Amino acid sequence: MFPSVSLAQEVGLAVLFAAALACVAGFGRILWGARLHHPEPAATAAEGLAALPAQRVAAGHPMETVELTEAEEEAFAGLVRTIALR
């Protein structure tokens, strides 16, 4: 084919071209299939969020609760009142 290229190089080039063509055709088929595939939407929000854990009850794990002193409770109540007024 080319006068300065050996037969082995020509065969390697042909194999490389065929492999590249097969990859392009495969990717095109994958993209075409993904474009045509429309999954059904989830019936409820709970099904779509199945990976999220259920919310815990008010009395959670002992390490998640904090005992406040009387002064801290009053300060927190004052903070809540100032936020509620805004």
pLDDT (tens digit per residue) in 1-57: 668 888 899 999 999 999 999 999 999 888 877 776 666 655 555 555 566 666 666
Please indicate, yes or no, if residue 3 is contained in any of the structural domains.
yes
Q: How many domains does the chain have?
A: 1
Please indicate, yes or no, if residue 65 is contained in any of the structural domains.
no
Q: Please state the separation of Cα 17 from the chain's center in Å.
A: 35
CA distance 32 to 30: 5
If residue 75 lies in a helix (H) or strand (E), which one and from where to where? helix 70-85
Provide the 8-state DSSP code for 63. Answer: G
CA geometry: angle at 43 spanning 41 and 48, to 5°? 75
Please indicate, yes or no, if residue 32 is contained in any of the structural domains.
yes
Q: Are 10 and 1 in contact (CB under 8 A)?
A: yes
**What pLDDT, on a 0 to 100 scale, did the predictor assign at position 15?**
97
Please indicate, yes or no, if residue 53 is contained in any of the structural domains.
no
**What pLDDT, on a 0 to 100 scale, did the predictor assign at position 85?**
80
